[in-house]
Structure 1
Amino acid sequence: MIRTHGLTKRYGAITAVDQLDLDVREGDVYGFLGANGSGKTTTVRMLLGLVLATSGTAEVLGRAMPRAGREVLPQVGALVESPAAYPRLSGRANLRVHDALAGGRRRGRAGRVDDVLDRVGLGGVDQRPVRAYSLGMRQRLGLAHALLSQPRLLVLDEPTNGLDPQGIREIRDLLTELNAAGTTVFLSSHLLAEVEQMATRVGVLDRGRLVLQESLEVLKRPTGRTYVRTPDVAAARALLDGQVEAYDEASLLVRVRDVAALNAQLVGAGVRISELAPEKHTLEDVVLAASSAAGDRFDRDVPRVGS
């Protein structure tokens, strides 16, 4: 659905995107992750033909962009940065205008508009002009616009920007539903927790370079270490000398092959255990390990042993 090779964008001496090789497959919910300023939006704009690459190539739906934009873009729904709208018109009127300009059939237009407004949670909005909308309402309207053409591919840049937690959940559920019905979703975001709940594959951008691209299932496989929560940390460490790789005041990470044998060993020595489980990486762990620029620009919690 999306494939790039050596895609690069420079602004003078600044390299915003550097030798990017993306591979987004049909049926993916692809989480395109990176800290603010890492080059995500520039990449999205190049994919849609809004910005010309300095070098490299990009294909969308198997066609070269931006050369094939006239054939490709009607099959792509996009939401990039601040959604465009006529501020004096209502959201419903805006969508009718956009549908007409995109060549949508006049017959059934009102029904199509009402349907997408309902899907993004704006079905009950009155005729107030878009200039009176909140940021979250504008984001919903932008997503409604992206859905009007029933696209094969959705390209979304921070689609939950400005939404409250309930709104974020509603958009997440909608994207999951669309993907299940066959729509491929390319989702650019810095909200790790949200992407982790719906992505099938992820790519991590760090200072313009793609530092990781893999399925989420592979990235979250067990690490081979076992997480042990116990009030007897000192006793467990002494018993498991040489096998403990990390610990804090209430837990340990232990490298063992046989978890059942570990449990029997600890219990047999009188060590009290409140939790024993294989360690798995979260998406947060993976992204922070791959990205040297992550810092506090990601929406994340403080990592801890066993997280």
Structure 2
Amino acid sequence: MIVTRDLTKRYGRLTAVDGVHLDVREGDRYGLLGPNGSGKTTLVRMLLGLVFATRGEIEVLGRPVPRRVGEVLPQIGAMVEGPGAYPHLSGRANLRLFDAAGPGGSRRDRRRRVDEVLERVGLAGVDRRPVRAYSLGMRQRLGLASALLRRPRLLVLDEPTNGLDPRGIREVRDLLTELNANGTTVLLSSHLLAEIDAFCTRVGVMDRGRLVLQEDLATLRRPTGRVVVGSPEPERVVALLDGRVEGRDGHTLTVRHADPAALNAELVAAGIPVTEFAPERRSLEQVVLDMTTTSADRVEAA
């Protein structure tokens, strides 16, 4: 669905995107992660032909971008850097204008499409208030509605849950999951780990313009070869395992062991009570922190 090769964007001496090889496959729920200023939005804008690359190649839906971007845009729904809308018009009027700019269809069909997407994003009861009177969450929902107007094959969303409360975030996640199950590939750019962790199946991590990791989320969550053991008698665990305990926090110990079942049998045979026992898995937060440097918007004291 999306392939880039050595994609680079420079602004004078600043390299915003540096040699990125992105691979978003059909059916993916792909999460693009990274600190603020890592190059995520610039990368997304290049994929849509909104910014021209300094070097490299982009292919979206089998077509080179930006040279043939006009052929693929009708099949893409996108929201980048917040929703765009005419602030003096209502949400419904904005959607009618956006829909009229696309390929044909009767007025009745256009009205039906607008009503359908407003219902799907939770704005079915929208009134004649102008968009400038909307809350940030309502604006985000309106932006998502405009991205869904043409039932796209590919959704490209930049921070789509910004401004939404927890229930709204869950509703958007459920909607995207449904769309993906029906054949829509989703590329979701965000700096919110929980949002990516709950929805995506593959992740790419950006850091200072580079794509430093691209992997299936299930692979990143594989057991680390350690086991987390909780016991009211941690000293006995340390004595029994003879150097295999790599960390301890109160009654919780981290044990290096290749066979959790054998470790459990060893503890039981020794008569050591166990209150917690689970293979250790790396969290997405740990992965991202290991792969990235300090956030670009951090300011240190001199």
Counterpart check, 1:36 vs 2:41: no
Q: Which runs of 5+ in 1 are unaligned?
A: 298-307
Residues 3/73 of structure 1: CA separation in 2 closer, same or farther (3 Å cut): same
C-alpha distance after superposition, 1:242-301 (max 9, x if no partner): 21122211211111233233223223334221111111112112111111235998xxxx
Q: What secondary structure does 2:199 align onto?
A: coil
Q: Which moved more, 1:239-248 or 1:19-28?
A: 239-248
Query: Which amino acid in structure 2 is aligned with residue 46 of structure 1?
Result: M
Counterpart check, 1:95 vs 2:95: yes
Residues 295/229 of structure 1: CA separation in 2 closer, same or farther (3 Å cut): farther
Q: What secondary structure does 1:195 align onto?
A: helix
Aligned residue in 2 for 1:279: 280
The 8 Å contact of residues 37 and 297 in structure 2, kept in 1 or not, is answered as: no
Q: What secondary structure does 1:85 align onto?
A: coil
Q: What secondary structure does 1:253 align onto?
A: strand
The 8 Å contact of residues 222 and 281 in structure 2, kept in 1 or not, is answered as: yes
Query: Which amino acid in structure 2 is aligned with residue 251 of structure 1?
Result: T
* In structure 1, C-alpha distance between the alignment counterparts of 2:274 and 2:77, rounded to whole Å: 51
The 8 Å contact of residues 47 and 65 in structure 1, kept in 2 or not, is answered as: yes
Aligned residue in 1 for 2:81: 81
The 8 Å contact of residues 121 and 172 in structure 2, kept in 1 or not, is answered as: yes
Aligned residue in 2 for 1:303: none
Aligned residue in 1 for 2:16: 16
| Pairing 1:166-181 to 2, within 5 Å after superposition | 166-181=167-182
* In structure 1, C-alpha distance between the alignment counterparts of 2:259 and 2:13, rounded to whole Å: 54
* In structure 1, C-alpha distance between the alignment counterparts of 2:108 and 2:248, rounded to whole Å: 66
1:56 CA drift (Å) = 0.7
Q: Which moved more, 1:140-149 or 1:262-271?
A: 262-271
* In structure 1, C-alpha distance between the alignment counterparts of 2:44 and 2:126, rounded to whole Å: 30
Aligned residue in 2 for 1:300: none
* In structure 2, C-alpha distance between the alignment counterparts of 1:246 and 1:74, rounded to whole Å: 54
Query: Which amino acid in structure 1 is aligned with residue 286 of structure 2?
Result: D
C-alpha distance after superposition, 1:62-89 (max 9, x if no partner): 1110111110111100000121101111
Aligned residue in 2 for 1:63: 63
* In structure 1, C-alpha distance between the alignment counterparts of 2:269 and 2:285, rounded to whole Å: 36
* In structure 1, C-alpha distance between the alignment counterparts of 2:142 and 2:281, rounded to whole Å: 38
* In structure 2, C-alpha distance between the alignment counterparts of 1:144 and 1:62, rounded to whole Å: 26
The 8 Å contact of residues 3 and 24 in structure 2, kept in 1 or not, is answered as: yes
1:233 CA drift (Å) = 2.0
Q: Which moved more, 1:89-98 or 1:267-276?
A: 267-276
* In structure 2, C-alpha distance between the alignment counterparts of 1:123 and 1:114, rounded to whole Å: 7
Q: Tell me the TM-score normalised to structure 1 length.
A: 0.93
1:124 CA drift (Å) = 1.2
* In structure 1, C-alpha distance between the alignment counterparts of 2:293 and 2:123, rounded to whole Å: 40
The 8 Å contact of residues 38 and 205 in structure 1, kept in 2 or not, is answered as: yes
* In structure 2, C-alpha distance between the alignment counterparts of 1:97 and 1:157, rounded to whole Å: 22
Aligned residue in 2 for 1:3: 3
1:103 CA drift (Å) = 2.7
* In structure 1, C-alpha distance between the alignment counterparts of 2:80 and 2:136, rounded to whole Å: 14
Runs of at least 4 residues off by over 4 Å:
294-297
| Pairing 1:139-288 to 2, within 5 Å after superposition | 139-288=140-289
Residues 296/224 of structure 1: CA separation in 2 closer, same or farther (3 Å cut): farther
Aligned residue in 2 for 1:123: 124
Q: Percent identity?
A: 68
Q: Which moved more, 1:194-203 or 1:19-28?
A: 194-203
* In structure 1, C-alpha distance between the alignment counterparts of 2:227 and 2:189, rounded to whole Å: 33
Q: Which moved more, 1:286-295 or 1:25-34?
A: 286-295
Q: What secondary structure does 2:169 align onto?
A: helix
Counterpart check, 1:54 vs 2:68: no
Q: What secondary structure does 1:224 align onto?
A: strand
The 8 Å contact of residues 288 and 294 in structure 1, kept in 2 or not, is answered as: no
Q: Which runs of 5+ in 2 are unaligned?
A: none
* In structure 2, C-alpha distance between the alignment counterparts of 1:254 and 1:295, rounded to whole Å: 36
Q: Tell me the TM-score normalised to structure 2 length.
A: 0.95
* In structure 1, C-alpha distance between the alignment counterparts of 2:243 and 2:292, rounded to whole Å: 30
Q: Number of matched residues?
A: 297
Q: What secondary structure does 1:197 align onto?
A: helix
Query: Which amino acid in structure 1 is aligned with residue 228 of structure 2?
Result: Y
C-alpha distance after superposition, 1:133-183 (max 9, x if no partner): 011100100000000010000000000011111110100000000000000
Taking only aligned residues, the RMSD between alpha carbons, in angstroms, comes to 1.5
